[in-house]
Amino acid sequence: RECRSQIEEAIARRPDFLTSLSPLDEHQQDSAVVLNMIRAARRAGTGPMAAVAGAVAEFVGRGLLEVSPEIIIENGGDIFAKIDGPLTCGVFAGNSPFSQRTGIRIAETPLPVSVCTSSGSVGPSRSLGRADAAVVLSNSGALADAVATAMGNRIRRPSDLRGAVEWAMRIKGVKGAVAVLNDQMAALGNLELVPIRNDVC
């Protein structure tokens, strides 16, 4: 509720915080979570709401880390986690043959890690592209979310996959990127792709 109220206050002060598809300037009254969204969106070239789910997951996760040494927060396809052992995040990519058969394995996380996903074919989020899944890893939830959105916006045909993940990896703070469209995939960065058995999905 605290995080949501901070975002609602930002929208009330300037409605374009909710609707803008391009970066906005910071305002002196912006809260920490709103500033995280604005700064991540600026690096990704998106509007600040492209970072909202990842920013909220991180806000909640960091709050819970005050009372628990390990956490996994999932917020509509966006994950913020800190765990003492390896973690495998399944990739849901709609009707792609990779969907729920491919996972991203992350070693133990001495620092919290975010795994955020955008899609042009799954879910209610707005995308200007056609990617079945655009997944970004970062220590920042807001940045992972904003870059996943922007990466997905760049994918309209399979030939766009490689260029999209290469673009994402050039953004400081991005640790890994995976893009899926139909039966093709591109991946770069500090991540390990692993098969997921159908009987454990």
pLDDT of 126 reads 67
Tens digit of each residue's pLDDT (9 = 90 or more) over 99-146: 989 999 988 777 889 999 998 877 666 677 889 999 999 999 999 999
pLDDT of 201 reads 42
pLDDT of 190 reads 87
Low-confidence ranges of the chain (pLDDT < 50): 199-201
Query: What is the 3-class SS of the chain, one letter each residue?
Result: CHHHHHHHHHHHHCCHHHHCCCCCCCCCCCCHHHHHHHHHHHHHCCCHHHHHHHHHHHHHHHHHCCCCCCEEEEECCEEEEECCCCEEEECCCCCCCCCCCEEEEECCCCCCEEEEEECCCCCCCCCCCCCCEEEEEECCHHHHHHHHHHHHHCCCCHHHHHHHHHHHHCCCCEEEEEEEECCEEEEEECCEEEECCHHHC
